[in-house]
Amino acid sequence: MSSPTMFGPRAAVLPRTAGSSNVNGRKTTAAIIQGILFVATAFAILVLAALIWDITSAGVTWLSLDLLTNTSSRRAENAGLRPALLGTLWLIGLTAVFAFPVGIGAAVYLEEYAPVNRWTRLLKTNISNLAGVPSVVYGLLGLGVFVSLFAAGRTIVSGALTMALLILPVIIIASQEAIRAVPPSLRQAAFALGATRWQVARDHVIPTAMPGILTGIILSISRAIGETAPLLVVGAAAYVTFNPTGLTSRYTVLPMQIYEWARRPQQDFQDLAAAAIIVLLALLLMLNAIAIYLRQRFSNRVNW
């Protein structure tokens, strides 16, 4: 930090403090504001702590193996999450199958293949706008196209297709960034050896960009797991007492079950919702740990 010299604090570029030659006063203000800024930032931690306390204090006594293995029930003490857990696994697995190849393919196209012209610009603008469309609108799209037009009904496959469209922009944008970070020299070396464009992408660019792509993929999966609104619209059922059996089965998912329980007025169901939230958050935490692990592992492999 600079102490005022003979040029003084009357710096012309700082009109709002011009004239306030009270150096100590200015320094005190700066220190106070620094404290306020710190508190504002730490507010995030405060909220996190309150949220975790709120949920565990309500839900922890309801955590049990029965919660994971029972089906939903009208009686809180018998109610469990099995159909919702299985539904989430089915839905997310299927979403991944639909979304990953297309998402990575689109990113490879945009970064490695697409010529610089209006068409490509249009694609890029379109993708960033799609990322900003509210998720409930994707629900309406799924309802109009998959449920009605393709007559797939209120089934897992409609839900997964809707979810795939929802997370596609996230995957594309993250993969694009990872691919862009691959140094051009790597591509040039491969081209110089006569590799074709696809060989360069398949054998060099994609493997090198893999840690970044994986991180993006897992983030998008986390988003999909927590998403409720679009599934509500395309017909995840609120009350399901059976396991999903296949692509055309009716289903529910974890956040849907949480919503259903949290809406009931009875305290027991409120607490049950909190317990289900603990399960959901644990699942998300696990996924993020995997993301960090994979990123470490893959990035150790490539040394420049």
Least distance from C-beta 302 to other proteins, angstroms?
14
Nearer to other proteins, 12 or 246 (CB): 12
**Alpha-carbon gap, residue 293 to 286, rounded angstroms:** 11
Residue carrying structure tokens 């644990």? 282
Part in contact with other proteins (CB under 8 A); list of ranges 54-62, 75-83, 85-93, 209-217: 54-62
Least distance from C-beta 149 to other proteins, angstroms?
8
From 34, 61, 69, 245, residue interacting with other proteins (rule: CB under 8 A) = 34
> 116-152: buried (b, 16+ CB within 10 Å) or exposed (e) per residue?
eeeeeeeeeeebeebeeeebeebbebbbebbbeeeeb
**Alpha-carbon gap, residue 168 to 117, rounded angstroms:** 23
Q: Which of residues 192-221 bind other proteins (CB under 8 A)?
A: 192-200, 203-204, 219
Q: Is residue 80 within 8 Å of residue 69, measured between CB atoms?
A: yes
Element (H, E) at 79: none
Least distance from C-beta 80 to other proteins, angstroms?
18
Residue 38 found at the interface with other proteins (CB under 8 A): yes
Amino acid type, 213: I
Q: Is residue 176 within 8 Å of residue 110, measured between CB atoms?
A: yes
Q: What angle do CA 171, 87, 250 make, to 5 degrees?
A: 115
**Alpha-carbon gap, residue 247 to 231, rounded angstroms:** 15
Mark 4-23 with x for binding to other proteins (rule: CB under 8 A) and - for no binding: xx-xxx-x-xx-xx------
Q: Which of residues 262-301 bind other proteins (CB under 8 A)?
A: 262-263, 270, 273-274, 277, 280-281, 284, 288
Part in contact with other proteins (CB under 8 A); list of ranges 72-80, 86-94, 115-123, 206-214: 115-123
Least distance from C-beta 31 to other proteins, angstroms?
9
Part in contact with other proteins (CB under 8 A); list of ranges 45-53, 67-75, 82-90, 294-302: 45-53
